[in-house]
Amino acid sequence: MASEDPAQDGKGSSDPRLDSLDMQLKKVRHAEKLRSGYKDQVPAKGMRQGNRVLTELIAGPAGGALLGWFFDRTFGTTPWILLVAMFLGIVVAFRNIIRISNERPE
């Protein structure tokens, strides 16, 4: 059945109604882009700053805990180096967050 329909085999001429619809859609999409001022959107600086803050909140304490756990296992001082390293990771994370928050979004 599909072989009887010339639009389905790719060799026949296309349907003029579909071509007209396609052209109308292209015109409408182009007009909408012009109307809305569409441009290639890049993430806003505020969004990037938020992602950096989230990364610092996760990576600082996690990195400190990982290093602390490793040194505790190495030196047999469980849990003291872990606690100190995690605390230092939190301090470094908050210092970096303060630094990030001092940058103003555009």
| Structure confidence at residue 47 (pLDDT) | 85
Cα separation, 17 vs 80, whole angstroms? 76
The mean pLDDT of 90-96, rounded to a whole number, is 96
* pLDDT tens digits for range 34-54: 888 766 666 677 888 889 999
Number of H helices, E strands in the chain: 3, 0
Domain ranges for the chain? 2-36, 45-101
* pLDDT tens digits for range 49-85: 889 999 999 999 999 999 999 999 999 998 999 999 9
Residues ≥6 apart with Cβ < 8 Å to 50: none
CA distances from 73 to 29, 85, 98 (A): 62, 13, 33
